[in-house]
Structure formats: C-alpha cells, structure tokens
Amino acid sequence: MKILKYLFFLILIVVIGGAIYFATKDGSFDVAITKDINAPAEVIYNNVKDFKNWEAWGPWMTQDEDIELNYAEKTEGEGASYSWKSDVLGDGSLKTTRVIPNKEIIQEMILNASTGDINSTMIWKFGETETPGATKITLEINGEKSFLQKVYANFKDENLEASLGNMYEQGLNNLEAVAIEEMKKFTVNVDGIAQHGGGYYMYNTTSANMSDIGAKMGAMMGQVMGYMDANNIPTAGQPFTLYNQIDEANGTVIFSACIPVRDRVITPEGSTVVCGFMEPVSALKTTLKGNYENLTEAYAQAQAYMAKNAIQPHPTSKMFEVYVTDPGEVPNPANYITEIYMPVLVPEEEAQ
C-alpha cells in the first residue's frame, strides 16, 4: 500500500509539475506575410472588405470543397462577420472590428479545435510600393494558444505558425490572381450616330508610333493643363485626343492632346500650347468601359458596325476619343470610360 501511495504522489507531482511547465510556457503566436501585388490598393481592399468576395480567393476554399459558409446580415465594414463549418479544417468564425478604407482592416478570428478555441487577431495593411499602381499587402495574425493546445503542440511536429502562414500565403496568391483578372474586364458598346457640339479647346500636337501614343499622352495632357492653370483658364469638359493624321502603313500618327475651354484663347507666338476650334459633327459614338489597352477592340467593333450598316466615314473630319473618367480618381482600369467619336456622312451630306 505504501508503494501505491508513493506512486500516486509521484504521479501527482509529475502532473502538477507538467501543468506548471505548460501553463508558464509561452503560447503566443505571430504570423506575418507580405506580398507586392500589381494592382491599386482600392482594388485589393474591395476584394478583402466584403466576406462574400472571399469565396473567390479565400485561403481555405480550395482545401475543402464542401466547406459550409454562413454569412451574417452584414458582410462588409465594421461589425461584418461570417462563420464556417468544415470536417477538414475545423469550424471557425471571422468578424471585422475596424476599417480604414484602402489602408487597414482589423478582424477577430476564432478557430474551433478539440483542444480549445484559438482566438487571434488579423490585421490587413494596404501600403505603397516603389512601383506606381502596385500595392504592398501585409497580413499579420497573432493570438494565444489554450493550455491544451500548448500541451498538444509540444508532442507533435505540426507548427501552427507555419500552417497559418502557408494557408494565407496561398490566399494572397489567389487574391492577386483575382485582382489582376478583375482589372482586365471590359465592355464595348456601339451607341450609334450621335451629335457632338464641338467648341474651343487648348491643345498641343506631336507625332508618334501608334504603340507610343499612351506613353506620350499623359505628359502632353499635363503640359496643356499646366498652361491652363498658370493662365487661369478654366476647363469646359473632359480631355480628349484628336487624331489629325493616321499612317496605317507605317504605323505612325499625328495627334493632339486637347482640353475643352469655353471661349477662344489667344496664346503668345511660339507657345507649344495653342487654342483650336472643332465644328459640331455627326459621328458614330462607341463607348469603352475598361482599360485603354482595349481601344483597339473598340475601334474594330465600331468599324464593323459602320461596314454592316453602310455608314460612310466623313472624308475630312477627324476622329477623337473623350476620356470621361480621370485615372487619378478611378483606380480600377476596368472602370475607365472612354467615348470614341468617328465622324460620318449623314444622308444630307451624302446627297451633296
């Protein structure tokens, strides 16, 4: 009996000692992942802020096709939440507690495990990079393991930090793919014959290879706007590009970067920015919603429409593009709106 008594006390001492050891053992965990994504912060932020968007890129969606998602009434912004049930990953929930638009999102995550719930905080940060238009995503996950989890972790090879890190690294890769694909979306609509009122405009002109138009356009528009600002000349509409001469055989074009003004402006002799006037014109209007790189497709559809409907292009009037949206105010290229005007002969002019 004495042996059993001593054995009992020995086991008790071991248990108490083990409990003290694991209770005092640090159970905190901290995971940090950083990734540069070639997309504006607003595009990335919009995909993260609404939990319903997580179905397209969420780090655990590909690991359990049968995962059951349950959304709260509010799925974006402070107070938004959702939960999941999974035989593969375990159950859990996520709630947004703080939001700074396009800058930061803080969320509280609970992972339900047989050894106790794992409570953690997720911090999303959307920062700048050295590359214009790109975003540095930083995701931090930190929390505390329960007593049983600390015991369990001591006897197994799996590492919680590594597991979470790998999962969310895959999630950021998925997020990048979704964001880039989203920015590629575009639509073209041939609106039909429209009347453009014309009017005065400030402009400068250059020649370039067709492939270099985009690269030169920004600087030229900046020069025109700088001249107008310096001379207190107000704008009277959206900027546009006027195509003066196109040499398709050699792939070159002479074009003007233009900004509408209300009245005629007299510029000093030798000024690179001058004032012009466009007569009112009937034109086939085509609207592109999407990146400027899709203008070629928009023109192709416009030309096909003209051929199908036997519409004759005007022999002397010049075609032009009006930029309805400002890229500085609309981060996602998929939301750029460009109106293309291709002057045409109306029946009265054809008769003449």
pLDDT in tens, 241-267: 999 998 888 889 999 999 999 999 999
From the list 217, 223, 228, 285, the residue with the least C-alpha distance to 262 is: 228
> Alpha carbon 21 to chain centroid distance?
49
Phi and psi based region of residue 264 (left: phi greater than 0; alpha: psi -120 to 50; beta: remaining): beta
pLDDT tens for 164-199 read: 778 888 889 999 999 999 999 999 999 999 999 999
pLDDT for the residue 27? 53
Give CA–CA dist 192/346, Å, rounded: 12
Mean pLDDT of the chain: 85
Locate 298 and state its tokens. 């928009």
DSSP element (H, E) containing 84: strand 81-85
**pTM for the whole structure:** 0.80
Distance between CA atoms of residues 177 and 38, nearest Å: 10
Q: How confident is the model at residue 215 (pLDDT cuts 50, 70, 90)?
A: confident
Could you give the strand order of the β-sheet that contains 104-112, starting from the edge strand earlier in sequence?
28-37, 135-144, 118-128, 104-112, 91-100, 81-85, 68-71
- Rounded Cα gap, residues 67 and 92, in angstroms: 11
Confidence check: pLDDT of 312 > 80: yes
Which amino acid would we find at residue 275? C
Would you tell me how many other CB atoms lie within 10 Å of the CB of residue 318? Answer: 17
Q: Where are the domains of the chain?
A: 25-183, 187-351
Residues 43-89 pLDDT 10s: 999 999 999 999 999 877 777 778 899 999 999 999 999 998 988 87
Residue 8 has pLDDT above 50, yes or no: no
* Per-residue pLDDT, 3: 55
Residue 13: pLDDT over 70:
no
Question: Domain 25-183 carries which CATH code?
Answer: 3.30.530.20
CATH number of 187-351: 3.20.80.10
Q: Look at residue 115 in the predicted model and tell me its pLDDT.
A: 56
pLDDT given at position 348: 61
Q: Give the separation between CA 122 and CA 172, rounded to whole angstroms.
A: 14
Q: Which has the closest alpha carbon to 169: 28, 31, 69?
A: 31
The residue with greater pLDDT, 311 or 350, is: 311
Q: What is the pLDDT of residue 177?
A: 94
